[in-house]
Amino acid sequence: MFIGEYRGKIDDKGRVVIPSKLRKDLLQQNVRSVFITRGLENCLFVFPENMWNVQTEKLKTLPFTKGDPRAFTRLFFSGAFESKIDRQGRIGLPQNLGVYAGLNENIVIIGVGDRLEIWSEDNWNLYSKRALESYVKTAETLMGG
C-alpha cells in the first residue's frame, strides 16, 4: 500500500525520482516498471505492473456500447505509457502526459493505496486545500459517522 506525500522535481530530461520509501515498497513487490496514464483532476496515475493488470481487467468489464465508458477507456489507455524504473529510482514522463497534468519543475508525488499520483505542486496545493475544506463532511458521508 502506497501512502504519504513527497515533494520533488522533474529533471531536464523529463524524469522523476520515486521517493525512497515508495521505491522500497515497489522493490519489495519486485516491480521493475510502472504504467503512467492520465489521472483525474489533472494528475497522473502511476500503477505498478500488478495493479495495472487489475485496472485493465476492471475496465474490460465496462460496456463498450455506452458512450461514457468508451470515452473513459479510450483516454485512459491512449495516454498510457510504460516506464522502467532505472538504477537511480527514476521514471520517465512522456511530454504529452506532463502537459496534461500541467507539470513544471516542482511536483508532488502522493501514495493513494494501490497507485501513486503525480501532481504539479500548484495543482496539488489548490486541490488539497479545497478537499480539506470538505474533509469532515465527506468522511461522515462515506463512513456513515
User: Per-residue pLDDT tens for 7-49?
Assistant: 999 999 999 999 999 999 998 889 999 999 999 999 999 999 9
Please report which confidence band the pLDDT of residue 104 belongs to, taking 50, 70 and 90 as the band edges: very high
Q: Which CATH class is domain 5-120?
A: alpha beta
Residue 145 has pLDDT above 70, yes or no: no
Mean pLDDT of 77-88: 95
What confidence tens digit (pLDDT) does each residue in 68-77 have? 889 999 999 9
Residue 62 has pLDDT above 90, yes or no: no
Q: Where are the domains of the chain?
A: 5-120
Residue 55 has pLDDT above 70, yes or no: yes
For position 16, what pLDDT does the model report? Answer: 98
For position 140, what pLDDT does the model report? Answer: 84
Exposed, middle or buried: residue 128 (CB in 10 Å: 0-12, 13-18, 19+)? Answer: middle
Provide the 8-state DSSP code for 57.
Answer: H
Q: Which three cell numbers stand for residue 29?
A: 513487490
Exposed, middle or buried: residue 36 (CB in 10 Å: 0-12, 13-18, 19+)? Answer: buried
- pTM, full prediction: 0.91
The total number of residues written for the chain in this structure? 145
